[in-house]
Amino acid sequence: MGAETHHFSKFTIPRLRAPTCKTKGTPFAIGQALVALAWQWTVIMRGEKAIWVVKEVLLDYVKNPSLKTLRSPSAIDAVAREIVKRLDRHYSMWGKWDEERSELLRIAMRCWIPVEDLTNFMNGMPGPKLTTTDVTQRLDAMLIECPYEHRYEEFKESCLAIYEQEKALGTELTAIVWHVRDYVDAEESRLFSARREQWKRHVEEERVAREQTLLSGVDCSWTQLRGSRVLFCRKSGRLFRLTPTEDKRWRLFRVETTGLDEKGTLLGEYQRRGHATKVVAQVASMPERRR
């Protein structure tokens, strides 16, 4: 029987895979397999809950009077999977949170919905009573579990305003949560676009600044002029040009201007730009013959 492991913050809990049955077996063998599965989970969970969960599934299974059905591999697969499914659902670090409560909180976690109102609403759903601490801590844990989900502080005021407006109109909390979530999604998209444009402007400003440094005659690192694949750098007042070749190598030239039509003096051809940079450092420190 194979096993997977689920990792939590402080625990590593094995998750058993449902066994498959490829051959017909006796009722005794069937019972042994199911009891073995139940026993492993009982040891893991160390509580009466696991026993009652497995017992409930087995009682439903043996109600079928047909021995042929009880021996059926597909039926055994189904009951084994049901046992694993129910045990997975019952064993949780967050025992008060079923699927519906978790889904609602997952939708609301970026929306700044007041915790007290969320708690009151979810206490009207099936399940154990929640406190504001339950909801706050589960919310924080969800934000940690989902690193790509983030609550933006700049949206808090507008989210609360939308919430209060809809609440005053009598809108159901679930509908308010989805409405605020749509607003947050739209604002995040707008914010992302604005930051992307800001980054593009910053990159262009840096490129123009490097280009101006190159053209002013000041020493500078490799700089690409607008619309060109050619790179220039200036070292010890000497200008060098690096031209890419069709076979993805680099040709290094000593030049006097940034004009692309200047032939220049070929210093070598290199596989990587870093190799050419080392040559520039060496050549720039050597005496240069007048041309």
pTM of the predicted model as reported, rounded to 2 decimal places: 0.53
pLDDT at residue 199, as a whole number: 94
Q: What residue has token string 């619309």?
A: 227
Rounded to whole angstroms, the Cα distance separating 47 from 176 reads: 40
Helix (H) or strand (E) holding 240: strand 238-244
CB atoms within 10 A of CB 70: 18
- Residue 46: pLDDT above 50? no
Of 99, 82, 94, 93, nearest to 13 by C-alpha is 93
* 126 Rama class: left (phi>0) / alpha (psi -120 to 50) / beta: beta
Tell me the pLDDT band of 287, cut-offs 50, 70 and 90: confident
Average pLDDT, the chain: 80
- Residue 192: pLDDT above 80? yes
Q: Which residue has the higher pLDDT, 12 or 62?
A: 62
Q: Which residue has the higher pLDDT, 129 or 69?
A: 129
Strand partners for 240: 233, 254
Tell me the pLDDT band of 231, cut-offs 50, 70 and 90: very high
Tell me the pLDDT band of 89, cut-offs 50, 70 and 90: low
pLDDT at residue 235, as a whole number: 92
- Residue 184: pLDDT above 90? yes
Angle between helices 99-108 and 132-145 (to 10 degrees): 70
